[in-house]
Amino acid sequence: MTGKMPTPEIERAFDLALIIQAEHDLNASTFAARLTVSTLSDIYSAVVSAIGTLRGPLHGGANERVIEMLREIATKDKVIPYVEERLNRKEKIFGFGHRIYKKPDPRAEILKKQSKLFWDKEAPNHAVHDNLHEMAVMMEEYMLKTKNLYPNVDFYSGPLLHALGVPSPLFTPLFATCRSVGWIAHAIEQL
């Protein structure tokens, strides 16, 4: 995917990211999959329904938007002014808040630790921008202090995948790939 053979360390981190995102309760895409098979449709149609739901900007693609946002900010000194400006305009800060987790999302905590490991080691994309992981931590601290919002799984999966050299247009398809395991399990249970 990156044009290079991954190290065992990168393989483990990539596997971890896929496993963490494989299944999570009854979110919008999982509900769509279950609803589809509840009509006695097939599992393929359930997965297509789930993918269609995931494509919506309020469910899928948030980790890609996180990276776009961090790239737009570009340097650590611009993090807080950027967030303040967006909040003042009542715009969404992608990767924050969760329907279930009102306290820290345990998946985000794991991905945050993994992301830091790769940024500390000069990630493949590190030289392109100021340290995106540090920028993300600054944003997390500010959002918690001002809005009492914790990051969700999407927030740190973006910096981790970026650090691993995964092109950002592949973030959502990768999410769909690993989440399909959960969708299929739910569909079978529904049937």
Torsion sign, CA atoms 80, 83, 86, 89:
negative
Helices 8-20 and 106-120, axial angle in degrees (round to 10):
160
Q: Among the options 98, 133, 162, 186, which is catalytic?
A: 98
User: What is the spatial distance between Cα 178 and Cα 94, in angstroms, rounded to a whole number?
Assistant: 21
Q: Among the options 24, 133, 154, 186, which is catalytic?
A: 154
Q: Is 98 annotated as catalytic?
A: yes
Q: Are 112 and 154 in contact (CB under 8 A)?
A: no
Q: Is 154 annotated as catalytic?
A: yes
User: What is the spatial distance between Cα 127 and Cα 21, in angstroms, rounded to a whole number?
Assistant: 27
The DSSP output letter for 122 is -
Q: Are 116 and 132 in contact (CB under 8 A)?
A: no
Catalytic residues: 98, 154
